[in-house]
Amino acid sequence: MRLAAIFAVLTCASQSVAAPSVLTDMAPIHGLVSAVMGDIGAPTLLLPPSADAHSYALRPSDARALSDAELIIWVGHDLTPWLADPIATLATGATTLELLETTGWDRRELTHHDGEDDHDHGDYDPHAWIDPAVTAVWVGHIANQLADIDPANADSYQANAKNYATELEQLRDTLKAQLAPAAGQSIIWPHDAYGYFEDAFDLMSVATIADAAANSPGPAHIAQLRERTDVACVLADPEIGDRWTAVIVEGTSANTGMIDLMGANIPLGADHYINTLQAMADTVVACVTGR
């Protein structure tokens, strides 16, 4: 009995030693890293899925998670400027991978400005994860970092990333076909965060309700949006809330919808990212077609 118990403890211990402690910033990135780690281990998630990435206050347990991490994988300071200092001061022993600073993909500049330039972001759009062609590149960088800190499992990380990148390319083709009815339709997007999705799937933006940092729009801007009569679909997202869309479409034939690029209602794990993109596409098609 006692010997069996000791063996059980040893087995557990050797398994937990095998997996590096990896911290991710938000649910879609947690999903990408989960897919690359496979059954080797699971990353932890800093932001609760329903949190607003643009304004979040770290809890004491978050500080502990940062100081315990061996590897931190995050989108970057352009999306979450508040996270840069805690990583620098609390995660002194960790390797960090800032995905927006990686190579092999094209950054897109912010194009929509609603007359207010004083937002928290840089000139580049930080919401880059919503193009599967971008994340197909990112998972290669994720696998390389994991292989660096955990060489024993390097082959598995690389194989998982390669398979998953193929899935992401397939997802892009599937969603492009599904979104074909929405191509060229006039859409008002919730905040200036969907450019990578628009570019990937030939979607059109006539305006955004809020700016890139999801600050509340002013009354003059809402009045302008209300004057548009050529719009097929007006979308809200959890970051700006659903209080603007009904006002904007009042008296028009436009439909409304709720889109979520963080996948707050999607179960966490290796399928989270693909399910989040699929749900985004479903929302756009339903909003544009009215079904």
128 touches Zn ion (CB under 5 A): no
Cα 184 to Cα 197: distance, rounded to the nearest angstrom: 14
Contact 80, 120 (CB under 8 A): no
- Shortest Å distance, C-beta 38 to Zn ion: 29
The residue count for binding Zn ion (CB under 5 A) is 1
236 touches Zn ion (CB under 5 A): no
130 touches Zn ion (CB under 5 A): no
37 touches Zn ion (CB under 5 A): no
- Shortest Å distance, C-beta 39 to Zn ion: 32
For the record, the structure tokens of 129 come out as 């994860």
Contact 86, 63 (CB under 8 A): yes
75 touches Zn ion (CB under 5 A): no
Cα 55 to Cα 285: distance, rounded to the nearest angstrom: 30
94 touches Zn ion (CB under 5 A): no
193 touches Zn ion (CB under 5 A): yes
Contact 80, 37 (CB under 8 A): no
Select 75 or 193, whichever has its Cβ closest to Zn ion: 193
Span from 30-38, 43-51, 99-107, 187-195 in contact with Zn ion (CB under 5 A):
187-195
- Shortest Å distance, C-beta 27 to Zn ion: 14
Contact 41, 15 (CB under 8 A): no
Span from 4-12, 189-197, 252-260, 278-286 in contact with Zn ion (CB under 5 A):
189-197
Specify the DSSP class assigned to residue 48: -
165 touches Zn ion (CB under 5 A): no
Q: Could you tell me how far CA 178 lies from the centroid of its own chain? A: 21
Pairing of strands 95-98, 233-236: unpaired
- Shortest Å distance, C-beta 73 to Zn ion: 19
Contact 236, 257 (CB under 8 A): yes
- Shortest Å distance, C-beta 192 to Zn ion: 8
Applying CB under 5 A, the residues found at the interface with Zn ion are: 193
